[in-house]
Amino acid sequence: MQKILILDYGSQYSELIARRVREFHVFSEVVSHQITLDEIKLHDPIGIILSGGPNSVYGVDAPRLPECILDLNIPILGVCYGMQLLVHTLGGTVADTGKGEYGKAHIKLLESCPILDGVPDDSVMWMSHGDSVTRLPDGFKSIVETEITKNAAIANESKQIYGVQFHPEVVHSQYGNQMLENFIVNICKADCSFTVSNFIDEQVVKIRETVGDKNVLLGLSGGVDSSVLAFLLHKAIGDQLTCMIVDHGFMRKDEVSKLMKIFVEKFAIKVVAVDAKEKFITKLKGVSDPETKRKTIGELFIRTFEKESAKLGEFDFLAQGTLYPDVIESCDPNIDSANASEVAHKIKSHHNVGGLPKDLKFKLIEPFRKLFKDEVRAVGRYLEVPEEIVTRHPFPGPGLAIRVIGALDSDRVATLSEADDILLQELKTSGHYDNTWQALCVLLADVKSVGVMGDMRTYESPLVLRLVSSEDGMTADWSRLPYDFLARVSNRIVNEVKGINRVVYDITSKPPATIEWE
C-alpha cells in the first residue's frame, strides 16, 4: 500500500496534513521527526512532508532534519518550519527579519512550477510565521512571494524538493488542497486507491489479532466516536464486546434511555448502564478549576469502569473513541511516541487522554486515534450506523461539567441541562442542526447579571450560546445563524429555565479561542 509520511515537528496541524492526504485516497501516517532510516524503510513512503512547528531552526535545541531524508530520492515537501528546516540544512539562511506574517495573505506567482498547477495568482494562503527564508540554497528558486515574505514558496524541481511558508492544509488557504494534490498525485505519483473500507478491513483484522479470545469493555457515551467504535468492535469481535454507559450526571437530558433504545433494542449490542451520578457530583462538588474537573472525572470514570466491570466478568481491554484532536491538544508524548510531538504545546487535557491514571489496569484499544471527526462519520456510514448518531455534534467526555464555569453542584448542572436541551430542540426543529459543527451552552455560574421579570428585579446567571462551523475541529468559526432563531432560543431559555436571566452569543473563532470554554 502506497504511503505518504509526515514528519512531525510540533505543529498543531500535523495530523491535519495527514487527513488532507487521505482525502486523495492515499494512506498517510504522522511519525516523530526523530525517525531512523530503518524505520523509514519499513514504511516505504512514496513521498515525505515535513510539518510546521513552534521552533526557530537556528535555535540551539531546535529539532533537526534526519540526514537520511535527503538521500532517499523521493519527493519532499516542507511546510512552514519544514521549509525553513530544508533551507537551513541545505546551506541557505533563515532569520528573524522582524516582519512576521499571520493569517490570510495574498500570494504572487513568480514562476511556473508543477506544485503550482491550477493555483491562480493573487489567491489567499494562511500564514503563521515569525522567521523567514532570507537566502536560498543552491539549486532552489523562489516561486511565490507575498507583500511581506519574499520566499513564500521555493522549489528544486530536479531533486523534487519543495517548500511553502504558508499552511496549505488549513481551510483558509484557498488553493491549498490543489497544491497538496499536485504534490501527492502529480509529483509523488500516488495511485489514490486507499478507501474507508480499507481502513475498516485493516482495523477489524488488527482488533481480532490484538484481542484474541479476550473480552473488551467500551465506554459508550453516545457520541459519534464511541458509537461508531461500538459498531466496529461488534463487527470484529461480536459478543466479546460489552459497552458500559457510566452516567456521571453530566450527560445530556435523557441520554441514557435514548442510547439503550438504539443500541440494545434496535441493534442487540450488549450495553450495561451504571448510575454513578451521586458518586461524581459528591467528588466534584465545589470544584471550579477546569483541569481539575477533567482529570478528576477521567480518573473516577476509569475507577468506576474497573469496579463495575469486575461485576460483569474479566476484561483485559478498554476501548476508547479517542480522536487525533484529543491527542494533539492534550500533547502528551507518553501517549504515543510515534505520533505525539515532544515539541508541541499543550492546550488542555482530554477526558480520554490526559485524565487517565498511570496505573490503568486495562490495555487500551483506540482505532480512531489517527482520525478526525468527519473521517469517523465516514466509517460510521460505511458500517450503517444510524444517521441520527453519525450526524451528532461532538460532546466532551466530561460533559456538562466543563460547561459550568465555576464551582460545580447538582443544581447548576440541572440548570445547564435544561438550557442545552432547548438549544438542541430548536436547532433540529429549525433545520440548523446539520449546518453547525458543534452547539453548546455555557453557564457562567459564578457570574450574576441584573434583570427584570414581572416588574421584579432578578440577579441570576448569564448563559452563553456557542455555535461554530468547522470541517475538522482544529479550526472553527462562529456560525452566522439568523437573528430570529437566536431570539427564539434566548426567549425560551430565559422563560423556561429557572436561574438564567440573560443569554449572550459567543462570536470568537478558533483560534484564538477553543470551541469549549474549559
- The residues assigned a catalytic role are 80, 167, 169
For residues 289 and 295, is the Cβ–Cβ distance under 8 A? no
Q: What is the CA radius of gyration of the chain?
A: 25
The H-assigned helical ranges of 139-221 are: 176-181, 196-211
Angstrom distance (rounded) from CA 303 to CA 356: 10
Residues of 125-158 as b/e, b for ≥16 C-beta within 10 angstroms? bbbbbebbbeebbeebebbbbbebbbbbbbbbbe
Can the peptide bond before residue 511 be classed as cis, meaning omega within 30 degrees of 0?
Answer: yes
For residues 174 and 122, is the Cβ–Cβ distance under 8 A? no
Angstrom distance (rounded) from CA 321 to CA 323: 6
What is the three-class DSSP state of 109? Answer: strand
Nearest to 7 by CA among 89, 93, 85: 85
Angstrom distance (rounded) from CA 265 to CA 260: 7
Angstrom distance (rounded) from CA 318 to CA 143: 50
Angstrom distance (rounded) from CA 113 to CA 158: 11
Question: Exposed, middle or buried by CB within 10 Å (0-12, 13-18, 19+), for 53?
Answer: buried
Nearest to 200 by CA among 407, 53, 383: 383
Length of the chain: 518
Is residue 28 within a helix (H) or strand (E), and if so which, with residue range?
Answer: strand 27-32
The H-assigned helical ranges of 313-409 are: 324-330, 373-382, 387-390
Angstrom distance (rounded) from CA 367 to CA 231: 12
Nearest to 69 by CA among 162, 153, 7: 7
